[in-house]
Amino acid sequence: MKQVLCIQDLSCFGKCSLTITLPVLSCAGISAIPLPTSLLSTHTGGLGKPFILPLHEEMKQIRNHWQTLSLPMDALYSGYVSELAQIEEIHTLFQQYPKAVRLVDPVMGDHGIIYASLPKDLPSAMLSLCQTADIITPNMTEAYSLLQRPYHSAPYSTEEIQELLESLHEVTGAKIVLKGMMKDTKYTHCAVYDNGNIVYLSEPYLPYAYHGSGDLFASALLGALMQDHSLTDAVTIAMRFCTICMKYTKQMQTDERYGLCFEPCLARYLELLQNGLDGNESNTCMQGQTTLQLEIEKE
């Protein structure tokens, strides 16, 4: 069984980060090992000012213990950090496991706004971490921040996206998955930059957003990669799974701040991992003993 070290915050309420990553990767047949960067009472999106306990000292002690055990890791996956010292610990972990796949989701903001709780110099520290990664998964806000460029909202031209991807690769050396961009009003796109090739992938645009969607995407992507799907196929699977979960959550009419109702849709994720997008996956998500029919457009 493959082992993935998940280096992210633990938010007690409001599904995101570890409370999404662990079940999604476990569903993919992966041993998901948590290393919390911070403990939060809630996530930082609209639930008031959370209690935040940085855990960089604890991270160091855990890492030191693991080093004595020579634990094998197939991948390291980092997400939200609240302090610069946590990035230094992640750097050390990357060095400790040089053969593992290193995926960095540079969680810093969305819709052109950097999260207010983060240190002002976090973007430059996050760039240094991305420079040690194999794959990075920024959204448009984070991509512009990593390049120290002013953000502007959609739509984005193909030429602009290409230049952005090439610039990100030039400064990081990583494969790039640029998520959540819009080139038109009908579809949400991802762009994959891999060895100089650019592939655009799309799902129908949904006019609503849920906290933790980026965590769900990156976790589903990594789960597919660990199941030996190509990067492009893994992104396609992750996009489809996010669409399924968002539609299901919308039909459940839950508070958007509480996050995605992804758990009843995990069986759909398994089908996507097993069948890809060949049309054999079902159109239902399970909630207890009930099923909910979804209308999923296919490209």
The bridge status of strand 52-54 relative to strand 31-42 is antiparallel
pLDDT of residue 10: 96
| Cα–Cα dist 76/92, whole Å | 12
Better-predicted residue by pLDDT, 21 or 112:
21
- Bridge-based pairing of strands 3-13 and 75-78 is parallel
Mark 207-242 as b/e (b = at least 16 C-beta within 10 Å). Answer: eeebbbbbbbbbbbbbbbbbbebebebbbbbbbbbb
Pick the more confident residue, 125 or 286: 125
* HSE-up of residue 179 (Cα within 13 Å, Cβ side): 28
Tell me which of 99 and 281 has the higher pLDDT: 99
Q: What is the pLDDT averaged over residues 89-108?
A: 96
* pLDDT tens-digit series, residues 70-98: 899 999 999 999 899 999 999 999 999 99
- What is the mean pLDDT of the segment spanning 46-50? 87
Q: How far is Cα 47 from Cα 177, in angstroms, rounded to an integer?
A: 29
In the numeric block, the tokens 């994720």 are attached to: 269
Lowest mean pLDDT among 142-151, 222-231, 282-291: 282-291
What is the spatial distance between Cα 25 and Cα 230, in angstroms, rounded to a whole number? 17
Output the DSSP codes for 152-190: -PSP--HHHHHHHHHHHHHHH-SEEEEEEE-SSSSEEEE
Q: What is the mean pLDDT of residues 166-173?
A: 97
User: Residue 268 — very low, low, confident or very high, per pLDDT cuts 50/70/90?
Assistant: very high
